A and B are shown apart, each in its own frame.
Chain A
């Protein structure tokens, strides 16, 4: 079993829909949780960064961390075709010397 599980998709939704992307993990020591967005043939870029549990909102994006369930989510409201990309979750802990452990990435397609 991988430390971080993420459905590779693809996930295809119509423009304007609310998108929910998720990752589950097994290491309860993870403290830092990140979502990166990667456009085709480009390097990943940080989208959201959360420490420990709770929610964080940034414009149309909301990141949620549920440490009791070992589950993190990224919600995208009013999805746009420009949101079409691969979304990777990543997390780290002091135990692992803060080395990032990555999910496989979910490919998201927003249909106009």
Chain B
């Protein structure tokens, strides 16, 4: 158990809908990262928050947004969903502000868009 909690574990929805994925980082970790992993694809970095502030953006679509709250949990909002958004969405946390520290990954949220 990495100590990172993601909910929901599975989500099935229709095109055009909006979903929210939630992540609770490990106790004491200030950094939260969101990644997308499609079938047989590598990890695609979406966005990084450190102590409530956005630190870096990767290949995140304009239809997606995220935030990190004062209690350090984070939410990833996906709107106007398309079939191609079906993927595993991982949250990772780290005590460090950058990638020179170990990332601890959650179990992921599997999103299926029908």
Contact = CB atoms under 8 A, between A and B. Distances in A.
Nearest to A34: B102
A104 B103 contact: no
Contacts of B96: 98
Nearest to B2: A43
Interface string B81-107: 000000010101000111110111111
Classify the secondary structure of B's interface with A: loop
Question: What interface size band does chain A fall in?
Answer: 20 to 34
Interface residues of B, number: 27
Contacts, number: 63
A99 B105 contact: no
A50 to B, nearest CB: 12
15 contacts: A32-B100, A41-B110, A42-B108, A43-B105, A44-B103, A45-B104, A46-B104, A92-B99, A92-B100, A96-B99, A97-B56, A98-B96, A99-B45, A99-B56, A102-B43
Contacts of A41: 88, 108, 110
Interface string A1-44: 00000101000000000000000000000011010100001111
Top 3 A-B pairs, shortest CB-CB distance: A98-B98, A43-B105, A92-B99
